[in-house]
């Protein structure tokens, strides 16, 4: 496969030159609130920062509750946010072959020490948050939906996360709409919402150095997020990491120790406002492409394509990626061997279930012998395929051929 063009690992919304000379205001929170049809959106410097703010606000309300329940297969930044707040990570196994939290495991985890439960809409897929709501609320805890990868997903005509206490989105590079790094926080209760705004003012003030750095990074994204630019800023370092056998770096799971906390400046917000105007059409065409491609992938014997949770009524997720499940780890690894680094946007969402990263072990206090069988099975069988329009039909055909051979 040609490496002149590099398909991105996710369907990030490209910027246009006109976005960089914004004319339509800089209140990204208000623009996102209109887009999501929610009363208010708080813009933060990352999805992780949004979670830190929410957890701090909740913990202030219930200081005796220190445990935060996460899916055992999720972004390591989520565990870092919990640890940053000096709270305790409790890992919940997934349902077999999916991203929903296992209700039996969740029942065992929820109690008087639980602060929050985080159902996670991995890869834009709508997970079923209802069991988490029932169990968490019965235990006096809150539900924070992690929709970092699901900006624009709807459930029954409402913004994803409606009915839960908090939902947050990521505006990081590669997650759809981007400020290079950014986040969006939606809080149902107005008093809690005000608490979150106050906490953000305290812990995440404007910092000129960070804003200059992120602004330059956003300019770099605008310039190089193109099929012929991605090779330089993404493909080359990916292939170098793969050549070294460093899968954690290849997947972008190699996070530094600290969490940056600062406000988002007006220029970057204004760029976001401009780009947001194109997001609905972008998501719609992504959905159409994903529907066609998922149907072709599902025709491959042994291959599963993750859909929205079948127990959620009126779920309409978004499609930054197609998440595939191969029959077993050996076949998944064979497919990865052929596709990862081949410039077609294939890879892993995250390399491991959280306890299996050596570098994040200190974040977890849970006994390492917890089997978490479904999360580990998922980590071993999943493969992510970017749903960018830059992935041409010929490349997609070639991917299907590899998957057919690997699943046979
Ligand atoms: C990326 C991601 C986050 C963190 O968002 P950032 O904006 O990168 O801080 C949290 N949860 C999930 C599932 C993610 O994919």
What are the pLDDT digits (tens) for 315-341? 999 999 999 999 999 999 999 999 999
Run of H or E including 17: none
Contact 81, 52 (CB under 8 A): yes
pTM over 0.95: yes
So what's the pLDDT on residue 283? 98
**Atom of ligand 1 lying closest to residue 77 CA:** 4
Which region holds residue 252: left if phi is over 0, alpha if psi is between -120 and 50, else beta? Answer: left
Q: How far is the CA of 301 from the centre of ligand 1 (A)?
A: 32
Q: How far is the CA of 179 from the centre of ligand 1 (A)?
A: 14
So what's the pLDDT on residue 353? 97
Provide the β-strand partners of residue 305: 324
Contact residues of ligand 1, CB 6 A cut-off: 46-48, 74-75, 77-78, 120, 122, 146, 148-149, 170, 172, 183
Task: Tell me which residue has tokens 């099929």.
Answer: 227
Q: How far is the CA of 331 from the centre of ligand 1 (A)?
A: 28
So what's the pLDDT on residue 182? 98
Q: How far is the CA of 175 from the centre of ligand 1 (A)?
A: 9
Nearest CA to ligand 1 atom 2: 148
Q: How far is the CA of 77 from the centre of ligand 1 (A)?
A: 6
Nearest CA to ligand 1 atom 1: 148
**Atom of ligand 1 lying closest to residue 175 CA:** 1
Whole-angstrom distance, CA of residue 338 vs CA of residue 350: 18
Residue spans of the chain under pLDDT 70: 1-3, 366-369
Cα angle for residues 160, 372, 125 (degrees, 5° grid): 20
Q: Token pair for residue 48?
A: 């992780």
**Atom of ligand 1 lying closest to residue 121 CA:** 13
- Look at residues 124, 83, 98 and name the one whose alpha carbon lies nearest to residue 321: 124
């Amino acid at each position: 496969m040609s490496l002149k063009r590099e398909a991105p690992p996710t369907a990030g919304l490209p910027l246009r030159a006109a976005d960089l000379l914004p004319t339509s205001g800089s209140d990204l929170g208000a623009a996102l609130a209109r887009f999501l049809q929610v009363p208010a959106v708080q813009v933060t410097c990352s999805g992780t920062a949004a979670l830190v703010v929410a957890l701090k606000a909740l913990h202030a309300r219930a200081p005796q509750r220190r445990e935060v329940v996460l899916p055992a297969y999720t972004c390591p930044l989520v565990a870092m946010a919990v640890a940053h707040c000096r709270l305790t990570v409790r890992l919940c196994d997934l349902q077999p072959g999916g991203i929903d939290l296992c209700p039996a495991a969740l029942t065992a985890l929820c109690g008087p020490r639980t602060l929050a439960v985080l159902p996670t809409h991995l890869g834009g897929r709508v997970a079923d948050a209802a069991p988490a709501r029932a169990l968490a609320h019965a235990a006096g805890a809150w539900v924070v939906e992690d929709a970092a990868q699901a900006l624009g997903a709807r459930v029954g005509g409402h913004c994803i996360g409606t009915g839960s206490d908090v939902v947050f989105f990521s505006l990081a590079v590669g997650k759809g709409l981007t400020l290079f790094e950014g986040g969006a926080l939606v809080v149902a209760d107005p008093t809690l919402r005000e608490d979150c705004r106050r906490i953000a003012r305290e812990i995440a003030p404007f910092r000129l150095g960070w804003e200059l750095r992120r602004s330059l990074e956003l300019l770099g994204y605008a310039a190089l997020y193109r099929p012929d630019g991605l090779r330089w800023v993404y493909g080359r370092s990916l292939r170098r990491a793969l050549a070294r056998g460093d899968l954690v770096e290849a997947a972008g799971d190699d996070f530094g120790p600290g969490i940056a906390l600062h406000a988002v400046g007006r220029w970057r917000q204004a760029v976001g406002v401009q780009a947001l105007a194109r997001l609905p059409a972008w998501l719609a065409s992504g959905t159409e492409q994903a529907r066609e491609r998922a149907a072709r992938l599902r025709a491959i014997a042994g291959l599963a394509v993750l859909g929205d949770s079948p127990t959620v009524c009126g779920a309409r997720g978004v499609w930054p990626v197609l998440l595939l499940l191969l029959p077993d780890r050996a076949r998944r690894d064979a497919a990865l061997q052929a596709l990862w680094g081949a410039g077609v946007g294939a890879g892993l969402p995250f390399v491991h279930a959280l306890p299996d990263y050596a570098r994040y072990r200190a974040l977890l206090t849970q006994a390492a012998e917890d089997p978490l069988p479904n999360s580990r099975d998922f980590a071993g069988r999943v493969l992510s395929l970017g749903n960018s329009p830059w992935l041409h039909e010929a490349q997609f055909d070639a991917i299907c051929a590899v998957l057919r051979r690997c699943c046979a």
